[in-house]
């Protein structure tokens, strides 16, 4: 519905630079500081008029397209006033910020990407080569004097072996996968290169430096800084202060609570104490010992919550006119074949993997325990709408070289790299640097973690991570998760129809590269 906005000509001229449409009921804001946008929306909840009228009545001093010296200061003062008047957390959710975290280790990227309410983009080890040293730095890995010269020599050796593997894999793959007649040559070369990078990435250490872009609300950044301050990893603590310094330059009002000993200081202290209590309890129960892997990589379904009758009731709830108990009784009166047919009808009709069933699918829940190489974990950990918990990366679960390493004559190279990596980890661990020791471990070393998710998120994860362009290690995890769900809930597994089940040697990226050509 379009309701006329009673604006004078001068008022329209005043608002025009800051509003995408002066008359539409739906519009976007532009050219305003993030603090002003946050304050506007915070005040909006208590203001009886429209947002455009609010801008004129109470925020007129901020409607300035020039970069005047006092503009940002006024916005900060305004935000702080609204923050104090209307509360904390809801106001901190009303403005978003972009922050780039560069030259951070692969260990730290997992902490940076852990908050659910944010968007993250990380440099990929699948498409970027790390074989060449960076001028003025050397190979791209995290350095600290505390880690010692032996650590640096070991990391240099791992990167050198990574370069050797890349150089060896490229011609071996080109011989094994011949281009199809008439196939675009550049697309074929890119696909060969991507496959070689996939196979060699397990030699990179967790110390490998990456860049991460983050877009999130002020509240998410606030909580991220507190968690980084409380982290055991010194690199994480330093990054937390760097993020805070960056936020202070663009939106100081968002950071005021972090500087208060009774707020940010107390919160970070609580997180440190909580971690210490958890560690002490694990030691007391004898659960902190590092046991070697018995079965190597694995996926186990630990727990299932709900059944297909509960699922049917949830799928029908939003279209029914009665209570859930009555719906459940009606569904329970159906025969097994009738329920299966109805589930197939309600969960079907999906044109592609982005066509997800309704939220009724969230009535089921699965808890998986996964042991996989750290490279696969890096990709699976980034899924937002699930609970992920992981144990510290260590060598006790073993390393997982790609099957192609032996076929390409690189089995000894991988074995030597993994042993050198393990020895470097041991030196750091023996020196009492337990939090930093995982820097030395190759991405091929395994890690144990839990993925706990509802069936709707499971559908998204399994279909996405089983795609033919995906890395073989996480494709295997997705395939096993699907098989375990199928054993419990066949109709739910059948609804996950946009999976790639093909197996065997192939160039995963060839179709994508051909689309680019």
> How many Cα atoms sit within 13 Å of 349 on the Cβ side?
7
Q: pLDDT tier at 112 (50, 70, 90 boundaries)?
A: very high
Q: pLDDT tier at 439 (50, 70, 90 boundaries)?
A: very high
Has domain 293-400+445-517 been given CATH number 3.50.50.60? Answer: no
Phi, psi of 117 (to 5 degrees): -90, 70
Rounded-to-10 torsion of CA 444, 442, 286, 111: -100
How much is the average pLDDT of 136-154? 96
Rounded-to-10 torsion of CA 22, 28, 34, 38: 90
Lowest mean pLDDT among 53-57, 82-86, 506-510: 82-86
Whole-number mean pLDDT of the chain?
Answer: 88
270 vs 228, 231, 400, 405, CA distance in Å? 13, 12, 37, 46
Helices and strands (H and E) in the chain: how many: 21, 7
Question: How much is the pLDDT for 330?
Answer: 94
Tell whether the model's pLDDT for residue 270 goes beyond 80: yes
How much is the average pLDDT of 183-198? 85
Max Cα distance, the chain (Å): 79
**Which residue spans of the chain are classified as CATH 3.30.1360.170?**
293-400+445-517
Lowest mean pLDDT among 155-164, 264-273, 475-484: 264-273
Lowest mean pLDDT among 104-108, 158-162, 260-264: 260-264
One-letter-per-residue 3-state SS of 338-349: HHHHHHHHHHCC
How much is the average pLDDT of 239-252? 86
The pTM is what? 0.88
Question: Which of 3.30.1360, 3.40.30, 1.10.10, 1.10.3470 would CATH assign to domain 98-284?
Answer: 3.30.1360
> How many Cα atoms sit within 13 Å of 75 on the Cβ side?
24
Question: How much is the pLDDT for 514?
Answer: 46
Tell whether the model's pLDDT for residue 515 goes beyond 90: no
Site of tokens 């982005």: 354
Nearest to 448 by CA among 318, 294, 241, 228: 294
pLDDT digits (tens, 9 = 90+) for 62-75: 787 665 556 566 65
Phi, psi of 352 (to 5 degrees): -155, 180
């Amino acid at each position: 519905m379009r309701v006329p906005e009673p604006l004078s000509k001068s008022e329209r001229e005043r608002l025009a630079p800051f509003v995408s449409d002066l008359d539409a009921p739906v519009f976007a804001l532009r050219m305003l500081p993030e603090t002003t946008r946050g304050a506007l929306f915070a005040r909006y909840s208590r203001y009886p008029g429209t947002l455009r009228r609010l801008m004129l009545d109470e925020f007129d001093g901020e409607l300035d397209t020039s970069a005047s010296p006092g503009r940002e200061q006024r916005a900060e003062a305004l935000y702080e006033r609204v923050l104090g008047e209307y509360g904390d957390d809801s106001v901190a959710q009303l403005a978003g910020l972009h922050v780039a975290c560069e030259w951070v280790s692969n260990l730290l990227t997992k902490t940076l990407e852990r908050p659910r309410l944010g968007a993250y983009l990380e440099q990929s080890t699948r498409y970027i080569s790390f074989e060449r040293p960076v001028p003025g730095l050397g190979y791209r890995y995290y350095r600290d004097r505390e880690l010692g010269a032996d650590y640096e020599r070991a990391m240099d050796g791992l990167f050198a072996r990574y370069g050797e593997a890349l150089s060896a894999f490229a011609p071996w793959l080109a011989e094994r996968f011949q281009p199809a007649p008439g196939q675009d040559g550049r697309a074929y070369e890119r696909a060969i290169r991507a496959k070689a990078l996939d196979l060699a990435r397990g030699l990179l250490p967790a110390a490998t430096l990456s860049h991460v872009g983050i877009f999130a609300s002020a509240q998410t950044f606030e909580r991220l800084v507190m968690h980084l301050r409380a982290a055991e990893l010194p690199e994480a603590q330093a990054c937390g202060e760097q993020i805070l310094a960056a936020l202070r330059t663009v939106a100081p009002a968002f950071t005021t609570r972090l500087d208060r000993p009774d707020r940010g200081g107390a919160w970070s202290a609580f997180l440190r104490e909580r971690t210490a209590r958890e560690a002490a309890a694990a030691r007391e129960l004898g659960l902190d010992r590092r046991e070697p892997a018995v079965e190597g990589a694995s996926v186990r379904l630990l727990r299932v919550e709900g059944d297909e009758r509960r699922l049917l009731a949830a799928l029908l709830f939003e279209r029914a006119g009665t209570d859930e108990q009555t719906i459940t009784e009606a569904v329970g009166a159906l025969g097994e074949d009738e329920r299966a047919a109805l589930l197939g009808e309600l969960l079907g009709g999906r044109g592609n993997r982005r066509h997800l069933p309704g939220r009724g699918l969230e009535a089921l829940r699965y808890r998986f325990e996964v042991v996989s190489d750290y490279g696969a974990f890096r990709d699976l950990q980034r899924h937002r709408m699930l609970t992920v918990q992981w144990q510290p990366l260590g060598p006790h679960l073993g390393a997982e070289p790609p099957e192609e390493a032996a076929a390409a004559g690189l089995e000894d190279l991988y074995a030597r790299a993994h042993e050198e990596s393990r020895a470097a980890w041991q030196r750091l661990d023996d020196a009492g640097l337990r939090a930093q020791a995982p820097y030395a471990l190759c991405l091929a070393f395994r890690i144990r973690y839990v993925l706990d998710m509802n069936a709707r998120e499971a559908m998204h994860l399994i279909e996405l991570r089983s795609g033919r362009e995906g890395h073989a290690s996480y494709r295997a995890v997705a395939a096993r998760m699907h098989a375990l769900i199928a054993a419990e809930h066949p109709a739910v597994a059948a609804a996950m129809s946009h999976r790639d089940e093909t197996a065997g040697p192939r160039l995963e990226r060839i179709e994508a590269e051909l689309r680019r050509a």
